[in-house]
Structure 1
Amino acid sequence: MTNNLQSFKDYLQLEKKYSPHTVNAYLNDIEFFQLFNKNQFDQEDIEQVNYSQIRTWIVSLVDDNMSNVTVNRKIASLKAFYKFLLKTKQIEVSPLLKHKALKTPKTLQIPFSEKEVAAVLNQIQNPEGFEAIRDKLIIDLFYTTGIRRTELIHLKAANVNPSTNTIKVLGKRNKERILPVLPIIAKQLILYFFERTHLEKVTDVDYFFLTKKGLKLNDSFVYRLINTYFSTVSEKVKKSPHILRHTFATHLLNNGADLNSVKELLGHSSLASTQIYTHSSLAELKKVYEDAHPRNQR
């Protein structure tokens, strides 16, 4: 790894506070381009490349049937690297200054309906045993707090406070935020705490949510849990923790919550990230409008 790449890695980890997974993704993309540039142009120093060389790389990626979304992500990694070089005065102009991202199809995430969520919760209304109680609590937390999957997995037992109806989560870039929980959810937290103390062995004692073997949950476990439960009530293509987070935001907006409040609950750094959820609330508004306006032909 070159000195500039090592410095960039340190910058992402220490200053930007990106996760190890994100840092590795950035570096892999840059090193991939570095290898291409060496093979194609016999040039190892990517600090001195021009846009024509980068454009050749983009064409090769497209020719390899790589999706525009993936190509854009790789270019974003490269752009971040050159932005860092500008910031540290290693270069004077970024070769990607005038680059325009490839067009990608806009995909609208379709949230679960209130009826679908209610149907799932009714199925597990009176859970018995550690796993059933945990599963219901996980579904309820996703739906009532908008917590991210990784935030839920890494939720620490010490940061769960049923007495104040709050939990403290660690979000993107290590930003902490306090989330309120409904009184009915606080009761579930207490019940789960009680069941958790009766596990035979707890290895990952610091983490709140555990498997029956006392281990921290993982991404695939949580995804399968949500997918399994919602597959019984919904025919939507995507049935994931992120869709439940999307559902949380959409249902709040549909029922009158303001965008800024939803932004804070979701842990977004800007309103632009939150505004994607307004598409669904606008659909609800359109329905109310069409049902109520006298000029609408019935």
Structure 2
Amino acid sequence: MDSLPPEPVATGLARDLDAWADHLRLGRNLSEHTRRAYAGDLVDLATWAATRGVSAWGQVDHRLLRAWLADLHRRGAERTTMARRATAARVFFAWSHADGRIASDPGSALQAPRASRTLPPTLDRGAVEALFDHLEARVAAAEDDAERALARRDLAIIEVLYSAGLRVAELCGLDATGIDEARGLLRVRGKGDKDRSTPLGEPARRALDAWLADRHRLAGPDAGAAVFVGARGSRIDPRVVRRVVHDALDAVPDAPSLGPHGLRHAMATHLLEGGADLRAVQEILGHASLGTTQIYTHVTNERLRDAFRQAHPRA
């Protein structure tokens, strides 16, 4: 059972939240991050409603939910936060109604401001080349086997993140059994425990092979089948991967400060700029909705407009 955030909630409003958390985990198979966010959203609603005399979910109506969102706006909540909280409320009340816990569903018509879609910062192709030149130079300059193993690991991490478009959790969870050398594929477990295969480019395959040849220099007894390990010898931590990416990009002049997800953005953008099919990019990234992938078309269109404005004599 997922534990809820330790905030005071009226007993009548807290009663169904643990059961709902189990429903999110077992019935909807949502990620732990999403479950915790939704749980926090409902705790916020319950705490807010309790201060207005509400003691049971059956007392909540559509007008009260709209007032809650309006109060969130007054408190300075971002549009993305308000949109997620509205979604959490809709999911909760739909489940409560379907389960017979409340007589009607007050969230069925609840709407929130549409979350604004900002273009994610990304790397251009020149910055990507400079990034890998820097990492390969680190390998060449290593003064001993241990330093070389770390440099090869970092190069392989960034090659795999960029080549396969992995999320940081997918990279950290990658096991040796997930490498299909014959077909040049990685098999990873993504959001919602969904498995997918994603292609691995030739430079990434070479970098991964070189790292695996040196992996024994870092791997300890707790490493298991983990492909990437940390300095202490166990499966690498996402915080270490983020630091590796930030440090490498800091060495590239004029490169934006990005984490691992920035490499995923860059990979998707460059695929589309190269003419890749949007559906194929969706499959590679493991997006459940094509709409999530379509944000990258905005990135490439923005670059086309920039190029037009800079180069066209009548722009």
The TM-score normalised by the length of structure 2 is 0.84
Segment of structure 1 superposing worse, 138-147 or 92-101: 92-101
The reply on whether 1:114 has 2:130 as its aligned counterpart is no
Identify the residue that residue 14 of structure 1 maps to in structure 2: 26
Segment of structure 1 superposing worse, 47-56 or 220-229: 47-56
SS at the partner of 2:294? helix
Q: Which amino acid aligns with 1:53?
A: L
Alpha-carbon displacement from aligned partner over 1:36-85 (angstroms, at most 9, x marks no partner): 212222x2212430122223333433333333332332222112111222
The reply on whether 1:144 has 2:185 as its aligned counterpart is no
Aligned pairs for 1:33-72 within 5 A: 33-41=45-53, 43-72=54-83
**Residue 154 of structure 1, aligned match among 162, 170, 173:** 173
Q: Is the 8 A contact 1:149 1:241 kept in 2?
A: yes
Aligned pairs for 1:251-290 within 5 A: 251-286=270-305
Alpha-carbon offset, residue 12 of structure 1: 1.1
List gaps (5 residues or longer) in structure 1. Answer: none
**Residue 192 of structure 1, aligned match among 186, 204, 211:** 211
Structure-2 change in CA distance of 1:271 and 1:65 (3 Å): closer
Structure-2 change in CA distance of 1:175 and 1:268 (3 Å): same
CA distance in structure 2 between the partners assigned to 1:76 and 1:102 by the alignment: 11
Structure-2 change in CA distance of 1:182 and 1:236 (3 Å): closer
Q: Which amino acid aligns with 1:182?
A: G
Q: Is the 8 A contact 2:178 2:186 kept in 1?
A: yes
Identify the residue that residue 74 of structure 1 maps to in structure 2: 85
SS at the partner of 1:65? coil
Q: Which amino acid aligns with 2:84?
A: R
Alpha-carbon displacement from aligned partner over 1:77-104 (angstroms, at most 9, x marks no partner): 1121112224334446432333331355
CA distance in structure 2 between the partners assigned to 1:202 and 1:75 by the alignment: 46
Segment of structure 1 superposing worse, 63-72 or 183-192: 63-72
**Residue 177 of structure 1, aligned match among 193, 196, 199:** 196
CA distance in structure 2 between the partners assigned to 1:135 and 1:190 by the alignment: 13
Identify the residue that residue 111 of structure 2 maps to in structure 1: 100
Q: Is the 8 A contact 2:159 2:207 kept in 1?
A: no
Alpha-carbon offset, residue 176 of structure 1: 0.3
Q: Which amino acid aligns with 1:38?
A: A
Structure-2 change in CA distance of 1:204 and 1:15 (3 Å): farther
Alpha-carbon offset, residue 238 of structure 1: 4.4
Identify the residue that residue 266 of structure 2 maps to in structure 1: 247
CA distance in structure 1 between the partners assigned to 2:120 and 2:286 by the alignment: 19
CA distance in structure 1 between the partners assigned to 2:179 and 2:291 by the alignment: 30
The reply on whether 1:297 has 2:314 as its aligned counterpart is yes
Segment of structure 1 superposing worse, 123-132 or 263-272: 123-132
CA RMSD of aligned residues (A): 2.5
CA distance in structure 1 between the partners assigned to 2:247 and 2:94 by the alignment: 43
Identify the residue that residue 87 of structure 1 maps to in structure 2: 98
Q: Percent identity?
A: 27
CA distance in structure 1 between the partners assigned to 2:184 and 2:262 by the alignment: 24
Structure-2 change in CA distance of 1:230 and 1:199 (3 Å): closer
Identify the residue that residue 29 of structure 1 maps to in structure 2: 41
SS at the partner of 2:231? coil
Structure-2 change in CA distance of 1:219 and 1:47 (3 Å): farther
CA distance in structure 2 between the partners assigned to 1:271 and 1:118 by the alignment: 29
The TM-score normalised by the length of structure 1 is 0.88
Q: Is the 8 A contact 2:86 2:110 kept in 1?
A: no
Structure-2 change in CA distance of 1:51 and 1:236 (3 Å): farther
Alpha-carbon offset, residue 284 of structure 1: 4.0
Structure-2 change in CA distance of 1:238 and 1:82 (3 Å): farther
SS at the partner of 1:40? coil
Q: Is the 8 A contact 2:134 2:251 kept in 1?
A: no
Alpha-carbon displacement from aligned partner over 1:159-183 (angstroms, at most 9, x marks no partner): 1233432211001111101112123
